[in-house]
């Protein structure tokens, strides 16, 4: 082959490769921590302005039935990172004692690894909570860069990992440091450094998890809120909204809005009276963080891709955070292989009107002695007694209600149990859940009750 012809072919291939890379959208996943269902403006919130978070829903799609696969921090993250029910690999709880070390099992492939294989730059900024030991840290799980904490953290002076400096956490000595602001700073910098290539940015804030710590200038905005815990929560929420606004503003300034698929959601419902109450409100939903009632698993969930997805649309069918991975892969031009054994589905055909069916026939939950199954508008759930206190929740040593059946279309607050009237539906849903549960291993570790 003549040398000039070979060089021409190489040049054409390089140009084609560059064009294909330019066509790949950026993926930005913003995960809030312990948000109440009705604390965001578009979710009905009145006392805490959230214009930037609202803009994702208003400029994109609000999932009116958006769910997560666990009512708890780490398991939800494990499901998000893998697109699989986390119970399939034993990741049912937060830290505990058991047959495996705590962390996302090394046998699982993460969303970052899959995006990296598609030519993406990858970064995580925020709370990891998928394993503190070196082999479980983000840098070993497909992320080029990590700036954040390995687990739950205070907003001020945390033990922080900055992979640009090294792999180990160091205490931040600056008394003015505030995680939410710093995470926005780094996220904006990462976008700037990767604006000419496709990137996947995972942004799991620790806001609004306890400890309740807000900036003074934010607290001054909410003097009218008399309840101190709610006022602190409002301050944290306001900083979170500002941080989201800075990320959105950077994408807009770099003309990346039409090249970026943005997802916003919370890891679970708000913890109102237990599991670290933070001043959040779940409104009409029954239950809270730690429950398989909807208050624990039904979360604010929005998706925006300007020019590609409809704007201002409400999607009525149940979706779950497991869907983020296959949706991102499809948006990037990749294909999901059968041997990935995903539970999530690609939402793009459903959101673009190409597939009118509901994405899922059923959704399932297992959290210790609690469980649930959802089929259309029907939900069969066994969950904690509404009056359960903090003691014993970690180990399941509390009373659970007998399984109850609800029509969520008519009864979103799970108030009217229909199990006596629809024994046939109870039997069918319970059989479906038992068949799903039969394939699951025991939890890899169990939480240990905290000393009082």
Q: Is 360 a catalytic residue?
A: no
Sign of CA dihedral 289, 294, 295, 297: positive
Out of 73, 209, 298, 350, the active site residue is 73
Q: Which two tokens stand for residue 425?
A: 């539906």
Residue among 304, 246, 236, 248 at smallest CA distance from 36: 236
129 is catalytic: yes
- Is there a contact between 114 and 80 (Cβ–Cβ < 8 Å)? no
- 78-113 burial, b at 16+ Cβ within 10 Å, e below that, comes to bbbbbbbbbbbbbbbbbbeebeeebbbbeebbbbbe
What is the C-alpha separation between 417 and 295, in angstroms, rounded? 16
Structure tokens, 424: 């046939």
Radius of gyration of the chain (CA): 22
Alpha helix positions (H), 254-399: 294-297, 324-331, 348-351
Helix (H) or strand (E) holding 203: strand 199-204
Instruction: For tokens 């970026």, name the residue.
Output: 260
Q: Establish whether the linkage from the previous residue to 211 is cis, with ω within 30° of 0.
A: yes
Rounded CA separation 370/347 (Å): 28
Using alpha carbons, select from 409, 416, 405, 413 the residue that is nearest to residue 377. 409
| CA-wise closest residue to 396 among 311, 289, 271, 291 | 291
Which entry of 52, 91, 129, 209 is annotated as an active-site residue?
Answer: 129
Known catalytic residues? 73, 129
């Amino acid at each position: 082959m003549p040398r000039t012809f070979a060089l021409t072919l190489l040049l054409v291939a390089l140009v084609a490769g560059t064009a294909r890379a330019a066509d790949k959208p950026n993926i930005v996943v913003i995960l809030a921590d312990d948000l109440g269902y009705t604390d965001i403006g578009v979710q009905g919130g009145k006392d805490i302005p959230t214009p930037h978070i609202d803009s994702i829903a208003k400029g994109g799609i609000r999932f009116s039935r958006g769910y997560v696969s666990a009512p708890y921090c780490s398991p939800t993250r494990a499901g998000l990172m893998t697109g699989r029910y986390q119970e399939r690999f034993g990741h049912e709880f937060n830290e505990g004692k058991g047959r495996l070390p705590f962390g996302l099992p090394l046998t699982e492939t993460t969303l970052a690894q899959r995006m990296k294989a598609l030519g993406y730059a990858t970064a995580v900024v925020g709370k990891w909570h998928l394993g503190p030991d070196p082999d479980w840290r983000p840098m070993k799980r497909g992320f080029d860069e990590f700036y954040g904490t390995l687990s739950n953290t205070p907003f001020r002076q945390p033990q922080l990992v900055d992979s640009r400096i090294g792999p180990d956490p160091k205490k931040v000595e600056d008394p003015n440091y505030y995680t939410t602001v710093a995470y926005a700073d780094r996220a904006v910098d990462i976008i700037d450094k990767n604006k000419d290539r496709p990137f996947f940015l995972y942004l799991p804030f620790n806001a609004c998890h306890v400890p309740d710590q807000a900036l003074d200038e934010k607290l001054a905005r909410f003097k009218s809120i008399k309840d101190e815990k709610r006022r602190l929560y409002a301050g944290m929420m306001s900083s979170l909204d500002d941080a989201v606004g800075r990320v959105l503003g950077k994408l807009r300034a770099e003309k990346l809005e039409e090249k970026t698929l943005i997802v916003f959601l919370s890891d679970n419902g708000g913890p109102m009276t237990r599991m670290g109450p933070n001043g959040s409100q779940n409104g009409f939903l029954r239950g809270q963080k730690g429950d398989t009632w909807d208050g624990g698993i039904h979360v604010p969930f929005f998706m925006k891709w300007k020019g590609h997805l409809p704007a201002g649309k409400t999607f009525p069918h149940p979706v779950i955070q497991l869907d983020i991975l296959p949706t991102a892969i499809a948006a990037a031009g990749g294909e999901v292989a059968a041997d990935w054994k995903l539970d999530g589905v690609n939402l793009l055909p459903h959101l673009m009107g190409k597939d009118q069916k509901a994405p899922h026939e059923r959704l399932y939950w297992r959290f210790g002695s609690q469980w649930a199954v959802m089929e259309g508008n029907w939900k069969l759930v066994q969950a904690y007694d509404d009056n359960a206190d903090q003691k014993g929740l970690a180990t399941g040593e509390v009373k659970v209600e007998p399984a109850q059946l609800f029509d969520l279309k008519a009864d979103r607050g799970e108030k009217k149990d229909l199990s006596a009237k629809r024994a046939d539906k109870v039997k069918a849903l319970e059989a479906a859940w038992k068949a799903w549960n039969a394939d699951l291993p025991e939890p890899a570790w169990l939480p240990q009750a905290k000393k009082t």
